[in-house]
């Protein structure tokens, strides 16, 4: 069994609002971090722990101010206000965490060498010395880490990047972090960078309130989170739906039998993304193009992403990306694959309401997303 540790990064008063190097809203993560502590067998903390003469403090460079960049013994260094001075109240662990000391298996101090800063909980910024955290985790059989704390765009980010580089499966608990944002967007960019480096980014709910599978068929799973039951697809949680209008100004609709509702349903063409074996990584636009052609016989020169969202969030985790097809051209009959029984309807944009009402009176069922599609279809003309 893989063993996972929680790493709480720099949860210290100096990084909270009112502190020397305040992270906006940093205190908001404390209740979440406390709840997370109980869900991990191994919990460790890092602590920014600088000598007063530390080279990252602007005050130690006459004429310099916080936020400026300098060269510190060969490494680029952002200058910070004096913070987390060893033994000062602002450098302690926050009282809420201090009260849970019994649950912290170890605390790793960093930034103790005045000549080099240490954002990561594993190594200094020059990667010259280890704090011992990596070795400590390995010795205890830990092979995956979940990371929370402050600040997302500095110490949390570099701790996570080092964890990945050391081969730990790494999860970032997004809502249990906050960013300094010296530059607006630094937090989002840190998330992006971590994803690209291979980190999994989750919200604490995924840990505190995990999804339980209570049944599984060939295509669908019945799942539960807390008391809430819902359906998940076994493959492909996201669908692509296409709004396509012919050159003559007709909205392309399809009609097909839907066993769940026991009748024929009028819908926009759509299909699952990544449901074809061997092409699970298919780009959403390609899935949309493929489905449009398979179901309707029309090919689009270009697909433009209009919007994305949930379809029936009370019933399923399914999400949908809605595309607008540009310059569609008829290349086949459509009708879907061998398992499908699809009729294609071309309905002049100005007559969609009347046509749908008529079809409804005749016993057809209308998928409500047709109306959303109509909005984008008309807006595009
Ligand atoms: C941190 C800047 C300087 C952090 C520490 O904990 O993110 N940031 N020292
Ligand atoms: Zn620091």
CA gap 167, 199 in Å, rounded: 11
Q: Which of 188, 208, 228 is the last residue of a domain?
A: 208
Q: Is 223 part of a structural domain of the chain?
A: no
Q: What is the pLDDT of residue 254?
A: 97
Q: Is 219 part of a structural domain of the chain?
A: no
Q: How confident is the model at residue 1 (pLDDT cuts 50, 70, 90)?
A: low
Do 252 and 201 belong to one domain? Answer: no
Residue-wise pLDDT for 117-138, tens only, equals 999 999 999 999 999 999 999 9
The catalytic position among 153, 155, 162, 317 is 155
> Is 323 a residue whose pLDDT tops 90?
yes
Q: Ligand 1: which residues within 6 Å by Cβ?
A: 10, 15, 21, 48, 80, 150-151, 154-155
Q: Is 217 part of a structural domain of the chain?
A: no
CA gap 377, 70 in Å, rounded: 54
CA gap 58, 76 in Å, rounded: 14
As a whole-number percent, the residues of the chain with pLDDT over 70 amount to: 98
Pocket test for ligand 1, best of 11, 48, 75 (most atoms within 8 A of CB): 48
How far is residue 156 from each of residues 66, 96, 366, measured CA to CA in Å? 20, 19, 49
CATH (domain of 46): 3.40.50.850
Do 165 and 244 belong to one domain? Answer: no
Q: Quick one: which atom of ligand 1 is closest to the CA of 12?
A: 6
Q: What is the pLDDT of residue 280?
A: 63
Do 199 and 323 belong to one domain? Answer: no
Do 257 and 188 belong to one domain? Answer: no
Do 202 and 315 belong to one domain? Answer: no
Residue 10 annotated to the active site: yes
Do 115 and 246 belong to one domain? Answer: no
Residue 155 annotated to the active site: yes
CA gap 276, 32 in Å, rounded: 39
Q: Is 69 part of a structural domain of the chain?
A: yes
Mean pLDDT of 91-110: 98
**Mean residue pLDDT across the chain:** 95
Residue-wise pLDDT for 260-299, tens only, equals 999 999 999 999 987 766 666 678 898 899 999 999 999 9
The 3 state secondary structure assigned to 250-310 is: EEEEEEEEEHHHCEEEEECCEEECCCCCCCCCCCHHHHHHHHHHHHHCEEEEEEEEEEEEE
CA gap 81, 20 in Å, rounded: 7
| Ligand 1 centroid – CA 22 distance (Å) | 10
Q: Which residues surround ligand 2, an ion (CB under 5 A)?
A: 48, 111
Smallest CA separation from ligand 1 atom 2, residue: 154
Do 29 and 158 belong to one domain? Answer: yes
Q: What is the pLDDT of residue 235?
A: 85
Do 204 and 242 belong to one domain? Answer: no
Do 249 and 189 belong to one domain? Answer: no
Do 61 and 132 belong to one domain? Answer: yes
Smallest CA separation from ligand 1 atom 1, residue: 155
Residue-wise pLDDT for 43-69, tens only, equals 999 999 999 999 999 999 999 999 999
Helix (H) or strand (E) holding 354: helix 352-361
Structural domain boundaries, residue 253: 238-379
Residue-wise pLDDT for 174-186, tens only, equals 999 999 999 999 9
Three-class DSSP category at 192: helix
How far from the centroid of its chain's Cα atoms is residue 256's Cα? 34
């Amino acid at each position: 069994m893989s063993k996972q540790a929680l790493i709480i990064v720099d949860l210290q008063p100096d990084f909270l609002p009112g502190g020397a190097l305040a992270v906006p809203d940093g205190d908001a993560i404390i209740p979440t971090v406390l709840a997370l502590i109980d869900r991990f067998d191994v919990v460790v903390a890092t602590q920014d722990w600088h000598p007063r003469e530390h080279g990252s403090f602007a005050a130690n460079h006459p004429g310099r101010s916080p936020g400026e960049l300098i060269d510190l013994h060969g490494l680029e260094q952002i200058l910070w206000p004096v913070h987390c001075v060893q033994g000062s109240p602002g450098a302690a662990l926050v009282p809420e965490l201090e009260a849970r000391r019994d649950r912290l298996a170890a605390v790793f101090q960093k930034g103790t060498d005045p000549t080099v800063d240490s954002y990561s909980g594993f190594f200094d910024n020059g990667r010259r010395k280890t704090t011992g955290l990596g070795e400590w985790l390995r010795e205890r059989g830990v092979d995956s880490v979940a990371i929370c704390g402050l600040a997302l765009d500095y110490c949390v980010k570099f701790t996570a990047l080092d964890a990945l580089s050391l081969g730990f499966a790494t999860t970032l608990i997004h809502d249990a972090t906050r960013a300094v944002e010296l530059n607006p967007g630094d937090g989002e960019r840190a998330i992006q960078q971590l994803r690209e480096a291979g980190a999994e980014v989750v919200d604490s709910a995924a840990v505190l309130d995990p999804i339980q599978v209570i049944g599984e068929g060939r295509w669908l799973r019945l799942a539960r989170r807390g008391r809430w039951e819902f359906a998940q697809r076994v493959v492909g949680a996201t669908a692509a739906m296409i709004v396509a209008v012919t050159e003559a100004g007709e909205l392309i609709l399809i009609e097909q039998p839907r066993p769940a509702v026991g009748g024929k349903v009028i819908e926009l063409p759509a299909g699952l993304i990544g449901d074809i074996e061997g092409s699970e990584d298919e780009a959403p636009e390609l899935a949309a193009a493929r489905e449009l052609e398979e179901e309707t016989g029309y090919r689009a020169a270009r697909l433009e992403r209009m919007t994305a969202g949930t379809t029936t969030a009370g019933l399923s985790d399914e999400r949908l990306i809605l595309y607008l097809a540009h310059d569609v051209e008829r290349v086949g009959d459509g009708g879907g694959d061998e398992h499908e029984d699809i009729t294609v309807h071309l309905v002049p944009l100005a007559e969609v309401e009347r046509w749908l009402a008529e079809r409804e009176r005749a016993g057809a069922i209308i998928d409500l997303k047709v109306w959303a599609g109509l909005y984008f279809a008309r807006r595009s003309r």
